[in-house]
Chain A
Amino acid sequence: MGMNKRKAVYVPFAQTVPLKYTIDRKACLYFQAIDKGKKGKCKACEKFCENDAINFDQTATTVDLNVGSIILAPGFQAFDPSKWDTYQYTNFKNVVTSMDFERILAATGPTEGHLVRPSDKEQPKSIAWFQCVGSRDINRCDNAYCSSVCCMYAVKEAMIAMEHAHDPLEASIFFMDMRTYGKDFEKYYNRAKDDMGMRFIRCRVHSVIENEDKSLKVCYVDEQGNIQNEDYDMVVLSVGLESSASAIELGNKMGIELDKYNFAKTSDLTPVATSKPGIYVAGCFQGPKDIPYSVMEASAAAAAAARDLASARGQLQKIKEFPPERDVSGEETRMGVFVCNCGINIGAVVDVHEVAEYAKTLPNVTYVQENLFSCSQDAQDQLAEMIREHNLNRVVVAACSPRTHEPLFQETMSNAGINKHLFEMANIRDQDSWVHSADHDAATQKAKDLVAMGVAKANLRVALQPIEVPCTKSSMVLGGGPAGMTAALNIADQGFKVYLVEKKDVLGGHGRKLRKAFSGEPVKPYLDDLIKRVNDHENIEVHLGAEPKMVSGFVGNFHTDLTTGASFDHGTVIVAVGADSTKVKEYLYGENPNVMKWWDLDKKIEEDPDSIKQAKCAVAIHCVGSREPDRPYCSKICCAHAIESAIDLKELNPDLDVYMLYRDIRTYGRLEELYQKARSMGILFVRYDPDNKPKVEEVGGKLQVTVTDHVLGRPIVMSPDFITLYTAIAPKGTEELANMLKVTLNQEKFFLEAHMKLRPVEFSTDGMFVCGIAHYPKPLDECIAQAQAAASRAVTVLSKDKVVIEPIVAGFVDKEACRGCGLCVALCPYGAIDIEETPEGRKAKLISASCKGCGICAATCYRHAISINAFNDTQIEAQMHAFLNK
């Protein structure tokens, strides 16, 4: 990014795959000369490379590929603010972009994670973020859309900066509307504002002046209309997202249609399909969006492509093979210990060298190595190499966390022909350097203890083989709304049986209440077609008026009994049960018939347009029940829906006064166009303060609304013919279902995915997936994409003949000791233990495939009959001894 110097031969970043050096053609002396048509000189790297790995004669070659489908995922480029003179990005050293700032915060960045300002490498005491740079702007650029992610990343950057700073840091965010509309975003924003003291100032900064000491004078007009000048040590420009020239070229080459902002054109009803059949798009080339939604779309595009190619599944598949495992049971223990710096994440706190030296003194340790990044490709190759060279049969990696990296190291063990369960990890980052960053000595001591404990346990590790069980190639989908039906159809189209279970007596869900998608496309014909395809599909069995009564089993082998008496086996579960609008007790709702909810207005527009043509004034109140203390989240779809309906009102009756009483307008992405259109039509937007909500009264039999206007600073009074309330969307009855499925909910009772960013549609329980508004409120196009994503993830299970289960499960260490008391049966949350009568009496029976290895049974068994493979009592005791006997 030009923030630091690098050589003409470089590695992009330490964890890059493949981890190989590459030549920067623009900086290489040889190529510089060649590109000018001269004879090239230098080639020093070629002379010095011992492995003859440099080839200057390599040229671009054309490869012909025959493929069934194409997915475009070229991503975005950050807006380049150098062309703006207002904020002087090119001239003022301490004005940086948000991408620059990410690098300043990152351990792998030019400052190695030390928060310093570029001009003098001193730690800044105050930083200002300017939002909407290159977004929501048609004056200085053509990016009228909202970039969707900048509000949240600015809050995140400010929060991380405050945490990094040794001295108190003043962080101010200059914004237009705070768009924290995603799952758990609002709570993060509240935390920043209320707990951390971050300042949020609503305005566009008009100019920045550089002071003599290179600090920056930020000049703005505050909400009261007063001119303000404030000094900041740094300014971060929250740059927007746009399509790069190469992405546009790719789109043009493929012959797909682009929209006016150069994003791939898609329909809200087929959100990952481009204008050309067989070519799909995912991520920011479809429109600006955040990581979770990009990942969802990636799976959605995969589902769409897989549906087209279902008949050729397995045709070109290759199976990964590992070398045969060495039987180490008779060998004496030879342990390798690898201690990781994790860049500066561990290295700046823990004395890694001292830990490594200490490891050499531990029992059975024959080889010790220090790594900069143990997870990088070359470190993996080295690990395999050292296992072979030193004939190692146990490995301990002291590094980040098994949560994220254990599978990687285990695969390397397999590649080296060693059973992956002979591996142990010591968590010296998440549980040490990160939490004890202020005390280097104590952190180093703790790292030593953790390594000693890891070694003690690894000494007692034994080889374990995976458990393989057959897979039932069908799925249960709960919920017959647009999300449930979309998921069901995709799975069925891919050739797998689906049981679609809907609580109501009809399919369609909340889709029935929608008139049109935000793109304007009508929903009814789409929904009718969807319902028909579901009903006609030979692979889909629809169960109406039904709910699950009992769900048992595990991935690939579930069994469900419905309340209707029907029952079936299935391999996966997709939860698409939706959510509901909330009860309203304010604004005279239920007392005055002209105060209605949003779908009543939609119905009115459809069924009684004359009443709208005769009306004089209409008011919409946003955030009714959303962003409140007891419901601290944004319902995401209300702003755009309210504006869409307001536009319809204005089109029906141009003389109608339409007022939108809002808190922040959250028309993210291309929805911003709706907001612009509404304003150009003369729809009036009045921002209200949550501490001073609009007052709705009945005066002389007529409705009257009083609200304090944010521009005038004084109350204004309206007499609307009707008021529409944009009520919150909240989950209903999810607790019971979550208990039955043994999956988790977030604080607000929405279903909780396994990982916010990287596993947005799956539960922690294998084989269970979530989509639609049961996950979080979202518009129709996002529901459809998420449903396709859930289908894609489910098919990764269903397309295999067997399910492979990790052998970290409960096992008997002493079956004789078991007295069949049943305590473990009662406590097992997964139904993985039964009692059976044996010739030796009542004994517990362990169902390994259902077992999640949680260890509750082992901890409760007072007879010490049960333990968990790889976490048995002897191993844990050895760890404790290693810690206490130091």
Chain B
Amino acid sequence: MPSGKDVVGSVLIAGGGIVGMQAALDLADSGFYVHLVERSPGIGGIMAQLDKTFPTNECAM
């Protein structure tokens, strides 16, 4: 594990879908600064295009 003052307390996350968002939230909630980078104009990714999800048939949104 790296240590010392050279370690930078920030993380770059490439992708703003459900995965990028969850990773960003975990890290931000654990004391790190996150740069979340997304190609498209909004975050949400493919899950935002889905209708409902199994097994509970809940709205994906």
Q: What are 27 inter-chain pairs, A to B, with CB distance below 8 A?
A: A16-B42, A20-B41, A67-B11, A67-B35, A71-B13, A73-B17, A73-B19, A75-B46, A103-B49, A105-B51, A108-B61, A156-B53, A157-B51, A163-B57, A299-B26, A302-B22, A302-B27, A302-B30, A305-B11, A308-B1, A311-B7, A314-B9, A315-B8, A315-B9, A316-B8, A799-B30, A799-B31
Tier of interface size on chain B: 35 or more
Checking B18, B48, B51, B56 against A16 with a beta-carbon cut-off of 8 angstroms, the contacting residue is B48
Interface string of A79-118 (1 = CB under 8 A from B): 0000000000000000000010011011111000100000
A102 x B51 contact (CB < 8 A): yes
Q: Which residue of the partner chain A has the closest CB to B48?
A: A13
Q: Which residue of the partner chain B has the closest CB to A280?
A: B23
Inter-chain contacts of B17 with A (CB < 8 A): 73, 75, 283
Knowing that A70-B13, A75-B19, A102-B49 touch, tell me 4 more A-B residue pairs with CB under 8 angstroms: A66-B8, A75-B17, A76-B46, A302-B30
CB of A794 to closest CB in B, whole Å: 10
The reply on A827 being an interface residue by CB < 8 A is no
Inter-chain contacts of A367 with B (CB < 8 A): none
The reply on A841 being an interface residue by CB < 8 A is no
Interface string of B24-48 (1 = CB under 8 A from A): 0011111111010001111111111
The reply on A7 being an interface residue by CB < 8 A is no
The reply on A645 being an interface residue by CB < 8 A is no
A73 x B15 contact (CB < 8 A): yes
B19 x A282 contact (CB < 8 A): yes
Measured in the bound complex, the distance between the Cα atoms of B44 and A315 in whole Å is 28
For chain A, residues 55 to 84, give those with C-beta under 8 angstroms from any C-beta of chain B. 65-76
Inter-chain contacts of B7 with A (CB < 8 A): 68, 308-309, 311-312, 315
* Residue among A1, A159, A305 facing the most chain B CB atoms (10 A cut-off): A305
B33 x A71 contact (CB < 8 A): no
B48 x A311 contact (CB < 8 A): no
Interface string of A139-163 (1 = CB under 8 A from B): 0000000000000110111011001
With A17-B44, A311-B2 known to touch, is A317 a contact of B49 (CB < 8 Å)?
no
B42 x A70 contact (CB < 8 A): no
B20 x A66 contact (CB < 8 A): no
Q: Which residue of the partner chain A has the closest CB to B33?
A: A316
A71 x B26 contact (CB < 8 A): no
B32 x A317 contact (CB < 8 A): yes
Measured in the bound complex, the distance between the Cα atoms of B51 and A108 in whole Å is 9
A316 x B9 contact (CB < 8 A): yes
Q: Which residue of the partner chain A has the closest CB to B28?
A: A317
Measured in the bound complex, the distance between the Cα atoms of B26 and A187 in whole Å is 32
A12 x B42 contact (CB < 8 A): yes
Inter-chain contacts of B53 with A (CB < 8 A): 156, 291, 757
The reply on A301 being an interface residue by CB < 8 A is yes
With A15-B44, A71-B23, A298-B20 known to touch, is A1 a contact of B33 (CB < 8 Å)?
no
Measured in the bound complex, the distance between the Cα atoms of B36 and A184 in whole Å is 33
CB of B21 to closest CB in A, whole Å: 8
CB of A373 to closest CB in B, whole Å: 9
With A156-B57, A298-B26, A302-B23 known to touch, is A283 a contact of B31 (CB < 8 Å)?
no
A13 x B22 contact (CB < 8 A): no
The reply on A547 being an interface residue by CB < 8 A is no
Measured in the bound complex, the distance between the Cα atoms of B39 and A22 in whole Å is 13
Closest 9 CB pairs of A and B: A312-B9, A16-B42, A315-B9, A283-B19, A73-B15, A302-B26, A298-B22, A316-B33, A68-B8
Interface string of A501-531 (1 = CB under 8 A from B): 0000000000000000000000000000000
A310 x B1 contact (CB < 8 A): yes
